[in-house]
Chain A
Amino acid sequence: MLRHLARRLGQALLVVAGVVVLTFAVMRVVPGDPAVAFAGPKATPEQLAAARERFGLDDPLPAQLLAYVRDLVTGDWGISLRTRQPVRDDLALAFPASLELVGAALLLAIAVGIPLGVLAARYKTKFPDFGVRLGSMLAVSVPVFWLALALQTLFAGALGWFPVAGEYDARLDTTSPLTLWTNITAVDALITGNWPILTSTLHHLVLPALVVAAYPAGVIAQMTRAALIEEAGQDHARMGRALGFGETSVLTRFALRPALNPVLSLIALVFAYALVNGFLVEAVFNWPGLGRYAAESIRSLDTPAIAGVTLLVALVYVLVNLVVDLLQGLVDPRVRVR
């Protein structure tokens, strides 16, 4: 297990190094001079030179890359050209909001996807199976931005059941101000017992979380179905049948647990996808997360901010994959040898 851990950690570090180099490369080819962007269009040549000096833009590229890596490691992710705040502080506010949205969506997707997958496997080739397959296919094929617009128009606009946009009712900031711990609004409201903000946040979460959940729920249902059908043909499931268990018990008691292993690794893959898909949903629902931050940074060609978002998401992806890999090694010893 230790050797497996060391090898996976080494691989992950290599990938992180590659990610940093790639991000740096993309940043360097962005048109427009970062010094001009920082100092403003009316800057004097002296101010420009000072800005160039400050960002080390006159140094050779390898030296710039080294300086970039050193800054990243020491926690200096640069200053946003747009907000004039350290990118790290901006991300520390925006990322938890995205995490809240994607977390809620994934919980929803698991809660819906796995039971539907079991249902489809239990009634394979029957009507429920057909319904689940059709539904999950539609869920993975729908353009998220369009689904977000449609739900927003219907349930928030026309019916008025849910708020149109935002994370919670901003008026509550004066009546019941929120103490920040994790920066995840729903979690902070829960631990500080701030019920008005908690209910408002959950109310605001419903529609965007539903939209983000569509894709993960679809793939989780498909994967659960496929894995269950395969496990149902294995010896341990046949033994259950021989012992006189009904088909439903065979599936849920004998086949479901081993079938969940591929589903677990799928959830890791889907997490990063949902995070970025969430960007589009955040744009529609004006959710104060990474997606909105990225969209605004892109509009103002704010390179340090764009690089920060890119890097953060890639790091999260590598980390989630690593954790799931190690978890699987714990759950299923065969994985360690591979």
Chain B
Amino acid sequence: MTHDAPPLRRSLPRLLPDRFAAFGAVLIVLVVLAAVLAPWLAPYPLDEVRPLERLRPPSAEHWFGTDQVGRDVLTRILYGGRTSLFIAAAVLAVSALAGVTLGVVAGYAGGRLRDVIMRVTDVFLAFPALLLSLALAVVLQPGVNTVILAIAVTWWPWYTRLSASVAASIATRPYVDAARCLGVPAPLIILRHVLPNSLTPVLVQLSLDAGGVILTAAALSYLGLGAQEPTAEWGLMVQQGQTLFTTNWWVVAFPGLAILLTAFAFNVLGEGLRGALDPRRVR
């Protein structure tokens, strides 16, 4: 898949017949809209506490019920989407920027420099994302920014590995050779020729990874190392309600379903994109 995938533009029409991917795309649009429009969609103000309406089951006034301090669960889930999507976007932006830069340089330069970069990458890859994030989240103050930093530190190597292999194959193309013969300096070749042609697989990976980042961030918050009260965050909501699952299921069930739905949407779209961009695709 990493070699010679057709550009995204040409593949989009091929994506449409794949109902699976289309379904994922629709879901993502809905999730993003719900998060962006949260202040207008939410039936109640974000932090409105009604001590007399604690732990109400789902009803016409509170579709998803109320939590242990009397806050509307639906409202907090809508706002929680903002937190999750923000974390995912920030992590992916940081790790793709760092990872692709290193990867493209490694892939184009080859030789000793490539070896050094790839060995450093291997070291970071040896730590499962959640584990290194755990260690870092302990060191730093828990909070949304720490989650972003901790996950990004473990995520960039995947982009380095991916873009290095793509860039290495592009570096042998005639048009790159031509540019080199014309005396175009290496940084410019990388910027103008290697980078733009390496981006398609990275875009697919971004979509595939968004779900994983959202799950990892929720897990860190669930462990108490991520977002803190009063931030509305799905993992944190599950943690705070976990002892209530038997008696007041809605407090835990809906935030978990929100994580599941969002991760699912990104995974489906990513898989669909990967399929549509795969030149060897078997129909």
Interface residues of chain A, those whose CB is within 8 Å of chain B, are 11, 14-15, 18-19, 22, 26, 29-31, 133, 137-138, 140-147, 149-150, 152-153, 157-158, 222, 229-230, 232-233, 272-273, 275-277, 279-280, 283, 294-295, 298, 301, 306, 309-310, 313-314, 317-318
Q: Please give the distance in Å from B104's CB to the nearest CB on chain A.
A: 21
Please report the C-alpha to C-alpha distance between residue A31 and residue B138 in the assembled complex, in whole angstroms: 9
Binds A, one of B41-49, B52-60, B169-177, B218-226: B218-226
B contact residues around A147 at 8 Å (CB)? 256
Interface residues of chain B, those whose CB is within 8 Å of chain A, are 20, 119-120, 122-124, 126-132, 134-136, 138-139, 211, 215, 218-219, 222-223, 225, 235, 238, 242, 245-246, 249, 252-253, 255-256, 259-260, 263-264, 267-268, 271, 280, 282
Please report the C-alpha to C-alpha distance between residue A96 and residue B120 in the assembled complex, in whole angstroms: 30
Determine which of A146, A229, A283, A301 lies in contact with B138 in the assembled complex, contact meaning CB atoms within 8 Å.
Answer: A301
Q: Please give the distance in Å from B254's CB to the nearest CB on chain A.
A: 11
Contact A233 B122 (CB under 8 A): no
Contact A14 B223 (CB under 8 A): no
Contact A150 B256 (CB under 8 A): yes
Contact B264 A137 (CB under 8 A): yes
- How many A-B pairs with Cβ below 8 Å? 129
User: Interface residues of A: mostly helix, strand, loop or mixed?
Assistant: helix
Q: Known contacts A19-B127, A230-B280; decide if A145 and B219 are in contact (CB<8 Å).
A: yes
Q: Known contacts A15-B122, A276-B128, A279-B130; decide if A143 and B219 are in contact (CB<8 Å).
A: yes
B contact residues around A283 at 8 Å (CB)? 223
Q: Please give the distance in Å from B215's CB to the nearest CB on chain A.
A: 6
Please report the C-alpha to C-alpha distance between residue A22 and residue B154 in the assembled complex, in whole angstroms: 12
A contact residues around B132 at 8 Å (CB)? 26, 310
Determine which of A18, A141, A280, A294 lies in contact with B222 in the assembled complex, contact meaning CB atoms within 8 Å.
Answer: A280
Contact B252 A149 (CB under 8 A): yes
**Which residue on B lies nearest to A272, using beta carbons?**
B128
Q: Known contacts A141-B264, A150-B256, A229-B282; decide if A310 and B119 are in contact (CB<8 Å).
A: no
Please report the C-alpha to C-alpha distance between residue A313 and residue B130 in the assembled complex, in whole angstroms: 11
Please report the C-alpha to C-alpha distance between residue A146 and residue B242 in the assembled complex, in whole angstroms: 9
B contact residues around A309 at 8 Å (CB)? 131
Please report the C-alpha to C-alpha distance between residue A291 and residue B225 in the assembled complex, in whole angstroms: 15
Contact A18 B223 (CB under 8 A): no
Closest 8 pairs between A and B when the two form their complex, measured CB to CB = A18-B123, A146-B256, A141-B263, A141-B264, A276-B128, A153-B245, A314-B126, A143-B259
Please report the C-alpha to C-alpha distance between residue A232 and residue B283 in the assembled complex, in whole angstroms: 12
Contact B238 A145 (CB under 8 A): yes
Contact A31 B282 (CB under 8 A): no
10 contacts between A and B (CB under 8 A): A14-B122, A15-B122, A19-B126, A22-B127, A31-B139, A137-B271, A143-B263, A149-B238, A150-B252, A273-B128
Q: Please give the distance in Å from B88's CB to the nearest CB on chain A.
A: 13
**Which residue on B lies nearest to A275, using beta carbons?**
B128
Please report the C-alpha to C-alpha distance between residue A276 and residue B218 in the assembled complex, in whole angstroms: 14
Please report the C-alpha to C-alpha distance between residue A144 and residue B260 in the assembled complex, in whole angstroms: 10
Contact B127 A143 (CB under 8 A): no
**Which residue on B lies nearest to A157, using beta carbons?**
B246
Contact A280 B219 (CB under 8 A): yes
Contact A15 B126 (CB under 8 A): yes
Beyond A147-B256, A313-B127, 17 extra complex contacts between A and B, CB < 8 Å: A15-B126, A19-B127, A31-B139, A133-B20, A138-B264, A140-B211, A141-B263, A143-B256, A145-B219, A149-B238, A153-B249, A158-B246, A283-B223, A306-B138, A310-B127, A310-B132, A310-B135
Please report the C-alpha to C-alpha distance between residue A169 and residue B264 in the assembled complex, in whole angstroms: 37
A contact residues around B211 at 8 Å (CB)? 140-141
**Which residue on B lies nearest to A22, using beta carbons?**
B123
B contact residues around A153 at 8 Å (CB)? 245-246, 249
Contact B120 A18 (CB under 8 A): yes
A contact residues around B139 at 8 Å (CB)? 26, 29-31
A contact residues around B138 at 8 Å (CB)? 30, 298, 301, 306
Please report the C-alpha to C-alpha distance between residue A88 and residue B144 in the assembled complex, in whole angstroms: 34
Determine which of A11, A26, A149, A317 lies in contact with B128 in the assembled complex, contact meaning CB atoms within 8 Å.
Answer: A317
**Which residue on B lies nearest to A315, using beta carbons?**
B126
Please report the C-alpha to C-alpha distance between residue A280 and residue B256 in the assembled complex, in whole angstroms: 14
Contact A313 B252 (CB under 8 A): no
Q: Please give the distance in Å from B173's CB to the nearest CB on chain A.
A: 21
Contact A146 B259 (CB under 8 A): yes
**Which residue on B lies nearest to A222, using beta carbons?**
B271
Q: Known contacts A19-B127, A283-B223; decide if A141 and B282 are in contact (CB<8 Å).
A: no
Please report the C-alpha to C-alpha distance between residue A301 and residue B140 in the assembled complex, in whole angstroms: 12
Q: Please give the distance in Å from B139's CB to the nearest CB on chain A.
A: 5
A contact residues around B134 at 8 Å (CB)? 279, 294, 298
B contact residues around A275 at 8 Å (CB)? 128
B contact residues around A294 at 8 Å (CB)? 134
Please report the C-alpha to C-alpha distance between residue A274 and residue B147 in the assembled complex, in whole angstroms: 21
Determine which of A138, A143, A222, A301 lies in contact with B215 in the assembled complex, contact meaning CB atoms within 8 Å.
Answer: A143
Contact A276 B131 (CB under 8 A): yes
Q: Known contacts A11-B122, A143-B219, A298-B138; decide if A277 and B235 are in contact (CB<8 Å).
A: no
**Which residue on A lies nearest to B255, using beta carbons?**
A146
Q: Please give the distance in Å from A121's CB to the nearest CB on chain B.
A: 10
B contact residues around A158 at 8 Å (CB)? 246
A contact residues around B260 at 8 Å (CB)? 138, 141-143, 146
Contact A149 B119 (CB under 8 A): no
Please report the C-alpha to C-alpha distance between residue A27 and residue B20 in the assembled complex, in whole angstroms: 45
Please report the C-alpha to C-alpha distance between residue A240 and residue B189 in the assembled complex, in whole angstroms: 48
Contact B238 A143 (CB under 8 A): yes
Q: Please give the distance in Å from B115's CB to the nearest CB on chain A.
A: 10
Contact B246 A318 (CB under 8 A): no
Q: Please give the distance in Å from B56's CB to the nearest CB on chain A.
A: 20
